[in-house]
């Protein structure tokens, strides 16, 4: 498993807080991700979408991928489910302070933390995206295909690494 470096954590923070229009949550947008044209240059291709089937760039680290996957829930050209304009279950992923995400009880299941550092299986965010038994409400992403295995593994790796404070260098 890849190590979580400070630079990779900063990329996750950037992805989570920037809104990442390219990673708009598929469940909260009205149109599907367009397919990149064949043989398009790497810098002009549409980035992979949350819940999409295109996958992530092969050189993106698992930590970067976690940021991409979660960033799509927080922003985009349309209203995102967990962006500042629509905080479903009180969770705003554009606000990545530890007071909002790490060691904070879930609204749906107050007995479970949204993210429990070092324990993906007991982190409600992870349970929701893996469609685990014991969740309340609907699995995430809502009304969309599940995240691909690489995205889920990237989020698990970040949690396994202790869900490092994204605001520190």
pLDDT single digits (tens) 29-70: 433 444 444 444 444 433 333 333 345 555 555 445 555 556
Q: Which residue has the higher pLDDT, 101 or 108?
A: 108
Q: Does 138 fall in a domain?
A: yes
Q: Does 99 fall in a domain?
A: yes
What is the pLDDT, as a whole number, of residue 38? 47
Q: Does 46 fall in a domain?
A: no
- 25 — alpha (psi -120 to 50), left (phi > 0) or beta? beta
Q: What is the mean pLDDT of the chain?
A: 64
Q: Identify which of 71, 58, 62 has the alpha carbon closest to the alpha carbon of residue 120.
A: 62
DSSP 77: S
Percent of the chain with pLDDT over 70: 39
Q: Does 48 fall in a domain?
A: no
Domain limits at 66? Answer: 6-28+59-160
Q: Does 52 fall in a domain?
A: no
pTM above 0.75, yes or no: no
If one counts the domains in the chain, the total is 1
The span from the CA of 97 to the CA of 31, in Å, is 31
């Amino acid at each position: 498993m890849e190590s979580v470096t400070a630079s990779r954590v900063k990329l996750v923070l950037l992805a989570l807080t920037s809104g990442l229009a390219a990673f708009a949550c598929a469940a909260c947008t009205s149109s599907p991700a367009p397919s990149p044209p064949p043989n398009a240059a790497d810098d002009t291709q549409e980035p992979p979408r949350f819940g999409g089937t295109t996958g992530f760039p092969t050189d993106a680290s698992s930590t970067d991928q976690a940021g991409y996957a979660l960033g799509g829930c927080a922003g985009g050209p349309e209203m995102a489910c967990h962006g500042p304009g629509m905080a479903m279950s009180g969770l705003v992923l554009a606000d990545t302070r530890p007071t909002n995400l790490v060691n904070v009880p879930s609204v749906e299941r107050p007995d479970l933390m949204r993210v429990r550092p070092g324990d993906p299986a007991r982190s409600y965010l992870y349970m929701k995206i893996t469609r685990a038994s014991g969740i309340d409400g609907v699995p995430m992403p809502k009304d969309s295909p599940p995240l691909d295995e690489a995205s889920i593994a990237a989020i698990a790796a970040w949690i396994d690494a202790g869900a490092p404070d994204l605001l520190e260098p």
